[in-house]
Structure 1
């Protein structure tokens, strides 16, 4: 048994240095979730051994080139198979109280949210098999991105395997619904909030007793990847200002307000192009809005772009706008990573005074903030930047320094790995799988008994 093996002090030390981490996410490879991909790459560069366990395989024809290797070795499982049925029957027959108790907690904690309840029940059987596989792979820690379905899956796997887990709370995954959040936080080794705003939201919901467990670790980028080019080398710098808005074409991104703002600014005589980068459910509606506003020569729908194409667009851009808004069903962004990418490229930014965004964009210091959905304010901010090249340069330089100092990817990854290797676990945690040669708990024996 893994936990019962007496490891030498050297092997225990090695486990701290090179932990085997299972990264979990809803879908992979999702082109809009570059922050997960590049975090995994940075974690491997820092010495961790990364295994990828997506809940679903994303059906896509376009992915970032760096994702190909992870896709090739990812652990994709169907929602149901003979293997999954066999694992669940064995667990139910040999440890009925554990299986039934875990199942009941999932049901009880998610009653009241159909989306969470159905999602958790759908992945529950698969998680039993994932728990067995992770034990066989000698996974040291599970790190789930998103406080919704991936965190629930990590919690279920933890119940059957004893492997410690953590999860990251980003935006809509936390703010749209918080069913089962207390259980997820209670049993986690630690929780990552990407902003102080998110941290306080978690503590307001689960209690201040979790204050030591909930860590603020910002998402970040590698600033060296986004060095700006000189204006003289830019194909777009010909008197026509180019404004970027990058993100899924969805209500929460607020593109509709930006289009109205661009109409106002162009009517005031500013020559500009708005590049909407991405696709999504609102594309046809936004295309109609552009046509009705007479902006077909001003607004360009760029479609999906990979990270390298995004870097090129940012290097040639004059302004980046992320006009995020909260939606009627509770969706809201955390801190859009594209803001960090734009600021790292020394592009001046306009964004919304929403969630954790003011922790990155400081109004009148390294960018401009408006109230969410305030078309007139967005138009005023856009016109101001369009007419003041010195202000654009000042905000661009200040934003670049902000990212370098406080939103660096490598620094964030080192913090996550430090918590993983430092045993940041609850006081009542005793399922030591790899980190220390302690006796196995009853729960940590379960899958070994089932799979013999």
Structure 2
């Protein structure tokens, strides 16, 4: 899709995001950068302003300033009214309004109304050279992209991940799947579920995000794996867990499991951001583990890389929340494996697609603190097992989960739509 000096400028792709930039969504940022490098011109749109205090280097490399839509419509009333006045003159406005009202009758929530308002702003402010609206996440961004696309007569497509699939009703998924040009999703479980709902299953494809190995090179030559085995109070086994402090990450269950291993010498560092941080701190104190537990804020990739290299074992206790939210293919497992770090996780969603139990890591059932404690004990006591699983995990990762092939797949889908 590279341009020549005489060729007309190619249509841009409007990429609709929940928020940008975000430390917790590096997989999206690396895809955007990869698309740009393949010659796909982009226009970023964000439904929310950023809340993280820092950025990853990849965001600076993308070097695109998003159009931030009104996060709440009352915050920019004149912009919303002006957009409505302009959008109502668009050729597809009436069809889009009928679509929204049909959704509203089944989902009378403030969020649904906000999606419609944001879609009118997006449609009225859309640059003239856009050929496709591509949304990351099927739920809110997917609705905004769908409504705006209908107003403008533009195709829309979606990259679906986790919560956005499992927390919206089937009727909404079916109707979006019937309208979109294509959908890519990052796990086999997601793909099978969505293909079963799609009028044309071939529009849904499995595309792993993968990892950008240039940002996560192998550990330095000569790095020796740790021999810590939990027997020395002065040299405890170093555990690491990276993920937002939200229910689906299972941090509370992990603390429960760790309390059952208090006779061993270990320390754990939790890294992330989110609403449950103080609850987890209080739970660690209640269990008598406060002196062994550190809770850190979200970090940029360079800082995380050093944490992975300093750790002996990576633990992610993924679970399915009561509302159905769950992980997809957690990037942090790939990041940990890239550093030959043994991984312990659960049989949730696509985790078994990257962590093969007994081969490239250990898996336990979700919501089973006793099983998690037994696996923790086994790995803390056996540095040779950690070394074997870590080495196998890195080999498997680098053979099957590079991000370049995934970006190429997305690029080819986009190119087919633009050429039509």
The verdict on a shared fold, with TM-score over 0.5 as the criterion, is: yes
Q: Does 1:297 find its partner at 2:291?
A: yes
Q: SS of 1:327's equivalent?
A: coil
Question: What displacement does 1:273 show?
Answer: 0.9
Q: SS of 1:57's equivalent?
A: coil
1:396 pairs with 378, 386, 390, which one? 390
Q: Does 1:92 find its partner at 2:82?
A: no
- Give the alignment of 1:4-83 within 5 angstroms: 11=7, 15=10, 20-68=12-60, 73-78=65-70, 79=73, 80-83=76-79
Q: Does 1:410 find its partner at 2:404?
A: yes
Q: Which runs of 5+ in 1 are unaligned?
A: 1-7, 424-433, 437-452
Question: What displacement does 1:287 show?
Answer: 1.0
The one-character-per-residue Cα deviations of 1:171-204 (angstroms, maximum 9, x if unpaired) are 1111112352122111111101211100122133
The one-character-per-residue Cα deviations of 1:355-375 (angstroms, maximum 9, x if unpaired) are 121111111111111111111
Q: SS of 2:24's equivalent?
A: coil
Q: Check the 8 A contact 1:28/1:71 in 2, yes or no.
A: no
C-alpha distance in 2 between matches for 1:373 and 1:99:
47
Q: Does 1:325 find its partner at 2:316?
A: no
Partner of residue 168, structure 1: 159
C-alpha distance in 2 between matches for 1:331 and 1:172:
5
Partner of residue 446, structure 1: none
Q: SS of 2:176's equivalent?
A: helix
**Structure 2 vs 1, CA of residues 318 and 107 (structure 1 numbering), >3 Å: closer, same or farther?**
farther
Partner of residue 377, structure 2: 383
Q: Check the 8 A contact 1:236/1:316 in 2, yes or no.
A: no
Question: RCO (CA 8 Å, sep 6+): is it higher in 1 or 2?
Answer: 1
2:204 pairs with 193, 209, 214, which one? 214
Task: Answer with 356-365 or 42-51: which moved more.
Answer: 42-51
C-alpha distance in 1 between matches for 2:296 and 2:351:
25
Q: Which runs of 5+ in 2 are unaligned?
A: 229-233
C-alpha distance in 1 between matches for 2:404 and 2:84:
39
Partner of residue 131, structure 2: 140
Partner of residue 435, structure 1: 419
2:111 pairs with 100, 113, 119, which one? 119
C-alpha distance in 1 between matches for 2:267 and 2:281:
15
Equivalent residues, number:
405
Q: Check the 8 A contact 1:77/1:126 in 2, yes or no.
A: yes
Partner of residue 416, structure 2: 422
Task: Answer with 28-37 or 372-381: which moved more.
Answer: 28-37
Q: Root-mean-square deviation (CA), in Å?
A: 2.5
Q: SS of 1:325's equivalent?
A: coil
**Structure 2 vs 1, CA of residues 235 and 66 (structure 1 numbering), >3 Å: closer, same or farther?**
farther
The one-character-per-residue Cα deviations of 1:298-355 (angstroms, maximum 9, x if unpaired) are 1111222122111110111111111011111221111111111111121111111011
Partner of residue 430, structure 1: none
C-alpha distance in 2 between matches for 1:153 and 1:100:
15
Q: SS of 1:329's equivalent?
A: coil
